[in-house]
């Protein structure tokens, strides 16, 4: 299964795995699944770090590199078709980062790992 980690799921997977649901943990630990992280999530994390809304014990680049090495994490860039797909999404979620993740998951056929209940209202595969 190809999984797209929501920003909070990525942070928890790396530093506070106990915050993941048992199902999310199982999916992330399954070596048969491919874990993806959107560049949109990296952008969101950097903004939160800059604003002081988030603290990491290790630089973000080191966390990503470690997850790439240990878990085969794949970085998902933002493509024009991902951006165009935003036009077809209902305005249920106001967070632009979450909207981009929804669009990317839909376009790329990924299952989104998220605790966000609003995301479940969209036509996208979600696990938690």
Cβ atoms 115, 78 nearer than 8 A: no
pLDDT at position 106, please?
Answer: 97
pLDDT at position 1, please?
Answer: 97
Longest CA–CA span in the chain (Å) reads 38
Number of domains forming the structure of the chain: 1
Stated pTM of the model: 0.94
Domain that holds residue 59: 2-127
Name the 3-class secondary structure at 55: coil
Residue 3 and residue 127: Cα distance in Å, rounded? Answer: 9
**What does the buried/exposed string (b/e) look like for 98-107 if buried means 16 or more CB atoms within 10 Å of the residue's CB?**
bbbbbbbbbe
Q: Tell me how far the alpha carbon of residue 3 is from its chain's centroid.
A: 8
pLDDT at position 93, please?
Answer: 84
52: left (phi over 0), alpha (psi -120 to 50) or beta: left
Low-confidence ranges of the chain (pLDDT < 70): none
pLDDT at position 2, please?
Answer: 98
Whichever domain contains 91, its CATH number is 3.40.50.1010
């Amino acid at each position: 299964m190809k999984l797209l980690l929501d920003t909070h799921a990525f942070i928890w997977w790396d530093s506070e795995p106990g915050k993941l649901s048992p199902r999310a943990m199982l999916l992330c630990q399954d070596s048969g699944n491919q874990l993806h992280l959107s560049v949109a999530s990296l952008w969101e994390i950097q903004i939160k770090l800059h604003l002081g809304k988030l603290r990491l014990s290790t630089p973000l680049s080191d966390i990503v590199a470690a997850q790439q090495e240990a878990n085969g994490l794949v970085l998902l860039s933002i493509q024009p078709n991902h951006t165009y797909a935003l036009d077809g999404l209902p305005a249920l979620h106001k967070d632009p980062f979450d909207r981009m993740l929804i669009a990317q998951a839909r376009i790329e056929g990924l299952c989104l790992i998220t605790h966000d209940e609003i995301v479940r209202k969209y036509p996208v595969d979600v696990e938690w």
